[in-house]
Amino acid sequence: MKNKIPLSKSITFLVLLILLSTGTVFGQSPTDIPHEDALKAVLAAKKKAEQMDVLVNIAVVDAGANLKAFVRMDGSYLGSIDVAIKKAKTSRYFDINTGDLGKLTQPGGIIYNIELSNDGLVTFPGGVPIKNEAGKIIGAIGVSGGTIEQDHDIAIVGAKAILD
């Protein structure tokens, strides 16, 4: 009798086996950016920054706004590391370009001061949602270090790179 496995452990093990065999349990959502695409976006954005002769930090977050890929170009501003990550997160949190969100956060805007939420948001250009071929948002990219126009242009190139 001392070699018997308790019934509760047997049932737990059986349920786990069933879930694993049916594919119900998996590590990544099908609406999440795969790491290959996150790297593709970062590298395309880096190439664009190099063409523009701009030193930037580039961050890609997944559908859950978790950091998935990052590059800091040699010589880019240290302070832009956090800004790039926050631009990507902000864009994913609200599924909008950060520059467009910023228009709504101005004094008198409908969400004035929202940048004070979520441990700090960035509401100026440089954060762009990343969509898959079906148009579903699977992550976001944030770029910081150039002007806001340069950051936005570089982020757009990165976001579109996964569709090529």
pLDDT digits over 96-119, tens only? 999 999 999 999 989 999 989 998
Which pLDDT value is given to residue 24?
44
Which pLDDT value is given to residue 111?
92
Which residue ranges in the chain fall short of pLDDT 70?
A: 1-30
Nearest in space to 55 (alpha carbons), one of 38, 32, 72, 33: 72
| Count of positions (residues) in the chain | 164
pTM of the model: 0.82
CB 67 within 8 Å of CB 96? no
Q: If you average pLDDT over every residue of the chain, what do you get?
A: 88
Residue 123 and residue 125: Cα distance in Å, rounded? 7
The tokens of 72 are what?
């800091």
- Residue 34: helix, strand or coil by DSSP? coil
Torsion of CA 23, 27, 32, 37, to 10 degrees: -110
Q: State the Cα angle at 120 between 116 and 124, rounded to 5°.
A: 90
Which pLDDT value is given to residue 15?
52
Q: Residues with Cβ < 8 Å from 151, sequence gap 6 or more? A: 56, 87, 125, 126, 143, 144, 145
